[in-house]
Structure 1
Amino acid sequence: MSSKDLSLEELKDVQKQLSKLATSSDSEAILSLFAKLKSGLSAPTEDVIRQSKIGVAVGKMRSHSDKKVADQAKSLVKDWKAIVDKQRAQSSTTSSKASSSTASPAPTSSKTDSAANGNGTASASPSSTPSAATKPASSTTKIDFEILNDKVRNACLKLLYQSLEIGKETHGWNDSQIFDAAVSVEAAILSNQGKGSVTADYRNKVRSLSLNIKDKNNPDLRARVVEGDIAADKLVTMTNEELASDKRKREIEELQMQNLFKAKGAAAQEAETDAFQCGRCKQRKTRYYQMQTRSADEPMTTFVTCTNCNHKWKFC
């Protein structure tokens, strides 16, 4: 990163702002933060992206309802991934060359090899034979799933691990990090749903949660679990609605709002006013009505419709 780039603390601040705007319709604020990232994060490193969690925050915006926001989020993630992949390739090449030059002896001529062998056939030079030192080290850590002294629990642990490891290369997760998350989740299910034993509720929760975690339409959930944003004890008590992707949550919220608008009583009279500004088109031509949607001692809910673009919103 150059001296002009955003510091780690500044990136964390931007990440917090984006997280707060994850379900917001304030596209201008989101695009402003994207512009700040584009100019202030020209050559991010993998460590910086991981520590600041800015990649997760921007990644969530790829499913935003505003196409411009979604497109710019996809562009940022794509650019950062290309930069990180290039850095990894360069690092791998450098390490391989350093290892080869250190471990491989200088090549000898065919005549010298032939003399050493005592026959007329030249042997292959050391430089032409792959050695253990020149082979790239495997990035996969050997994971032991037989640690729980119970065949069913070990199988469940493996299932959770396999669900969590999807997309690990993109996020730069290592196997130990994923395994630790899987162990925590399995233990939380055993305690919460199984009450300390391998019960039918325990098995059902492992299966249903693993399906939610590996859902290709909800990669954010997987990232939040592996990176510790959602504690295992909280994860195993979350409802299907809470586990849903941000896009699905927005769809549910919009559907509920539409139902509320359609369910207004005959007595609910709409009035025109310029007191409200539309968050989408910024016009002040609106209609509104009020309805008691909560207990009697709570304030009424105001439902507003923009007469210019038909955008709907509510507030209490």
Structure 2
Amino acid sequence: MADREEVERLKDLALQMRKDVLRLARNAGGPVHVGGDFSLSEIMTVLFQHFLRIDAGKPEWPDRDRFILSKGHGAGTLYFSLARKGYFDIEDVFGTYGKLGTDFGMHPCKAHAPGVETSTGSLGHGLAVAVGMALGGRLDGGTHRVVTVLGDGEMNEGSVWEAVMAAPQFKLGNLVAIVDKNELSLDGHLDDVMKINPLDEKFAAFGWNVIELDGHDVAALIDALDNLPPVAADRPTAIVAKTVKGKGIDFMEDKIAWHAGILDDEMYEACLKQLDEKREAERNDAWLVH
């Protein structure tokens, strides 16, 4: 069972992640993918601040874990995660995000942002790249894992399912695919665009080890990641994380309009207030339970 202090620490960091995204959406001068960043906040926080074996002081360490953000429009969460691990100054993200010549574009670029393993943004490719990295690690005798986060909207890409089929064939127990299953894409609700459910059964049918959980439940994420099968196992793991687009802000939750957006000062302050109030209520509930 996840340590209570660690859970609370990570919840506070996930809160800060959302505040960082809001600040970006207020100051960037153009749309920021707020909704998808908020559905990712706990997932990215637990991965980078608890699970992944990475070291900003040794960015090319051969046995580091590899992370690929297949849903590249969630770049804000990746930049903030890497900044808090020491790869670069977080103020550089706020100051240059989305501007001409920046290292921090709306989609991550390996050639510019330190710590980014693969350039992404064109959807449907991250899992295939992760399969190649995991196979390379297996052939080299590495002990690292390859983790990729996909959006459920990109699960209608044929290249994704080729990779889903290939990973068990090559016995890639060092591969973890996490699906941010918020049920919305820019085109609409998934069942209206392309029916992909039940995702867990589809992964299982191809031979994956499958975990289904609440993607905003920090303790559940910790338990799932800390108790993965060993790297030497012969089945890749898929974590189907049920999330809510825009999680934490009432007027954003489950709203396609907040796939990307801009905040004025009044909206920004109202969002901060709501996030703080919800986190304080959560802390009080936890105190009463314990």
TM-score normalised over the length of structure 2 = 0.26
Q: Which has the higher contact order (CA 8 A, sep 6+)?
A: 2
Structure with the bigger percentage of helix: 1
TM-score w.r.t. length of structure 1? 0.25
